[in-house]
Amino acid sequence: MLSRIAESLFWIGRYVERADDTARLLDVHVQILLEDPWAEEDLACRSLLSVMDRPVPPDHVEVGREHVLDVLGYDRFSPSSIAGALVAARENARRAREIVSTELWECLNASWNQLPSQMRPARPHDYFTWVRERAAIVTGIMESTTSRDETWHFLVLGRAIERADMTARLLTTRALLGSAGPGWSTLLRSCGAHEAFLRTYRGTASDERAAGFLLLDRLFPRSIVYALNEAEASLTALEPVADRAGIDDARRHIGHVRSNLEYRPLLEILDDLPREMELVQRACSAASDAIRGRYFPSGAELTWVGEAL
């Protein structure tokens, strides 16, 4: 497979997952601000922007939910907003049009076409629901029409890395806002994990277990550890023959941060959650770079990478 195509596939996986996760994150955030009369809107919005790596306006400017929605929801030009991610996913699919199945392409293209009419509804919740549904359709089509060859592994690899990264960011918002932020059950709901969590632990739910569920659960597909495992599995499938010693960079980053989470007492991780989550995000970023270096080398783009970072 051409490196360029593989790269597009990898990024389709990432962008679609990013749109999905950002929609979930914003949904929780907006819901809290609406329902909670004690919420400190300015502070909550600032910390969300900083977690999502968006520029935070100067201190004297009041930051409200409209601003956050504009920046993270409706900005078509930044791939770290929902709209931008959908646009970028479609662009990438266009570049890999001959590899991507027609159904998948049509789905991404339809999302792109519908985007202007879906943006800025009366209830932001409707927009988020739409985004989640589109992402679910993409996943479903991927699942049922993609051969389990490299195409599949690159798509899944992108999705898994993005999911680990975004779940880490979601947990950071909770840690940063403390008790002013969303409760654990809200976070679980936003990941679609609440009912799975209840079935696992029944009534004996506690904050600790909820955090553990999103961080460490080996069976729930949105937990960080599950996503990291999935990324590792894809990497192994892409390159099964391992050296007798040593391991390639991408797998090293991911495996390292995964075992860092898995082989430590939960309480220790929770004590400094923002820091731990930052490690996860950095590892995802480093793994992404390593994957690019290994599978998508291209002279022209390397200079771009150098400038961007």
Site for other proteins, rule CB under 8 A = 4, 7-8, 11, 14, 18, 34-38, 40, 43-44, 46-47, 50-53, 56, 77, 79-80, 88, 91-92, 95, 123, 125, 165, 172, 175-181, 195, 197-203, 205, 274, 278, 281-282, 285, 288, 292, 301, 304-305, 308-309
Side chain identity at residue 245, one-letter code: A
Q: Count how many residues are written for the chain.
A: 309
CA dist list (Å): 201 to 195, 213, 216, 222: 10, 10, 14, 17
Closer by beta carbon to other proteins, 95 or else 252:
95
- At its nearest, how many Å lie between other proteins and the CB of residue 35? 5
Mind giving me the DSSP string for 18-78?
Answer: HHHHHHHHHHHHHHHHHH-TT--HHHHHHHHHHHTT-PPPPTTSPP-HHHHIIIIII-SS-
- At its nearest, how many Å lie between other proteins and the CB of residue 259? 20
- At its nearest, how many Å lie between other proteins and the CB of residue 143? 23
- At its nearest, how many Å lie between other proteins and the CB of residue 114? 19
Closer by beta carbon to other proteins, 207 or else 242:
207
- At its nearest, how many Å lie between other proteins and the CB of residue 18? 8
Any idea which residue has 């989640």 for tokens?
132
Closest CA to 174 of 294, 290, 44: 44
Closer by beta carbon to other proteins, 198 or else 242:
198
Query: Contact 1/295 with Cβ under 8 angstroms?
Result: no
Closer by beta carbon to other proteins, 49 or else 142:
49
Closer by beta carbon to other proteins, 148 or else 253:
253
**Alpha carbons 285 and 165: distance in angstroms, whole number:** 8
